[in-house]
Amino acid sequence: MVDVIISGGGPTGMMLASELRLHGIDVVVLEKDTEPNPAVRSLGLHSRSIEIMDQRGLLERFLAEGTAYPGVGRFAGIDRPAPADLDTAHGYILGIPQPVTDRLLTERAAELGVQIRRGAELTGVRQDDDGVTASLADGSSLRSAWLVACDGGRSIVRRLLGIGFPGDAATTEWLLGEVELTTPADEVARISDEVRRTHRGFGIGPAAGGLFRAVVPAASVAEDRAVPPTLEEFRTQLHTFAGTNLGAHSPRSLTRFTDATRLAERYRHGRVFLAGDAAHVHPPLGGQGLNLGIQDAVNLGWKLAADISGWAPAGLLDSYFTERHPVADGVLTITRAQSELLSPEPGPQAVRRLLTELMDFDDVNRLLTERVTSIGIRYDFGDGPPLLGRRLRDLPLSNGSRLYERLHEGRGLVLDGTGGLSVDGWDDRVDYVADSSPELNAPAVLLRPDGHVAWIGDDQAGLLGALPTWFGARFSTRL
């Protein structure tokens, strides 16, 4: 019997597996595909996900494989400069194809000792008071204390458990392909710019290896989105919108995506959790899907590890849903809005023109930018300063190090500028740094493992009131 089974070996599953292994949890990832999926369904990481990679000591790996583009995520493709003094040390987009992200996170999970079983398709789930039994397609089964479904928008686990997935069915579909073209690159750019004047759901540009990555509206919504488009279907749609198929040939990957928008009614059923696309699907505008799943994993990982390790305070596991469900709901709203603004119809285009003007106001631009990048998230930790409940950006410390360098192990952290506080009794799960930052307007803060601020103050009594809320009872036995 293992501690946790994760169904699905995509970015959410692998990030969650690594988070659990940081706390010594025994994890098995079941992935039905025998080989990694080559389809490029995500093109990069936004600021909050870049922060997460930095917090876990992974950012250098990602920077080495990706390209940092100035600026941050644009709402509905509206070209406006990033707001001044955006609250992040990573005010850029990291362009990196999803297969590379998948590989880097899989390598990290393997380094930490995660058991990864490819070609292992989950077909059944049965749970009782003591654990969960996962049935596999080959007739075998595996027993665990907990199971987390990271198996995508068509999650078999969610369906087996009967968890409601209400929302809106797809009305629009796009085809995404990485292909070779016979048309010269400068002509491709000219054609793409021309088509995008009236069809913002169309786009094509160079990709790695001499390929081009193209997005084009489909003729209709496919009955089965799991069936990839054919090259002929892709070429036909290119011709429909561009007047030429650009000589598309030799595809590396062809896939389809839609504007379907659904959100699970709950993220937990007994000993089973949902994360990533298994919990929410939405239009891909703004590139938030993969990022949202990674952030789910970082929220859930330490909480589930705390329960398994025996120190989780009451309600900690339930806070995964109460914190992440509203975030996903907000992402569904903003991606649906962006999807509507891509329509060439007069009404949506009128709204787009008005919104473009409104984004000249810094407050509007800042709000939308923080939504797309997820750096504006504030969990409800009760009354307190505006920083309470928000994640803390990376800060330079007075000793010459950086704050995020102290978060690599996925533990809590007290950053104490007073030098007079103590985490004695919690030092098996909370680190203590007697240091300060000129950029932090607070005497001391308590950070959860996901980097969100759980307490702000300067007195030991206040800290002792906050530590049990997030890190359980004081450990009083010393050998």
Render pLDDT for 330-353 as a digit per residue (tens, 0 to 9).
999 999 898 889 888 899 999 999
pLDDT of 29 > 80? The answer is: yes
Interval 231-248 mean pLDDT: 96
Render pLDDT for 144-157 as a digit per residue (tens, 0 to 9).
999 999 999 999 99
pLDDT of 479 > 50? The answer is: no
The pLDDT of residue 427 is 96
DSSP 312-341: PPTTTTHHHHHHHHHHHHHHHHHHHHHHHH
Q: Which CATH architecture has domain 403-471?
A: 3-Layer(aba) Sandwich (3.40)
- Return d(Cα 300, Cα 342) in angstroms, integer: 34
- Return d(Cα 298, Cα 256) in angstroms, integer: 28
Q: Are 232 and 144 in contact (CB under 8 A)?
A: no
Interval 118-132 mean pLDDT: 97
Render pLDDT for 194-205 as a digit per residue (tens, 0 to 9).
998 888 889 999
- Return d(Cα 138, Cα 213) in angstroms, integer: 37
Interval 295-310 mean pLDDT: 98
pLDDT of 217 > 90? The answer is: yes
Out of 198-212, 292-306, 415-429, 431-445, pick the least confident: 198-212
Q: Where in the chain is the domain with CATH 3.30.70.2450?
A: 173-258
Interval 257-265 mean pLDDT: 94
- Return d(Cα 350, Cα 296) in angstroms, integer: 35
The pLDDT-based confidence of 477 (bands split at 50, 70, 90) is low
Q: Where in the chain is the domain with CATH 3.50.50.60?
A: 2-167+262-373
The pLDDT-based confidence of 286 (bands split at 50, 70, 90) is low
Q: Are 259 and 339 in contact (CB under 8 A)?
A: yes
> In CATH, what number does 2-167+262-373 get?
3.50.50.60
Interval 98-112 mean pLDDT: 96
Interval 120-134 mean pLDDT: 97
The pLDDT of residue 224 is 82
The pLDDT of residue 478 is 44
The pLDDT of residue 410 is 98
pTM score of the predicted model? 0.94
Within 8 A by CB and 6+ apart from 364, the residues are 358
Q: Which CATH architecture has domain 173-258?
A: 2-Layer Sandwich (3.30)
Mean pLDDT of the chain: 94
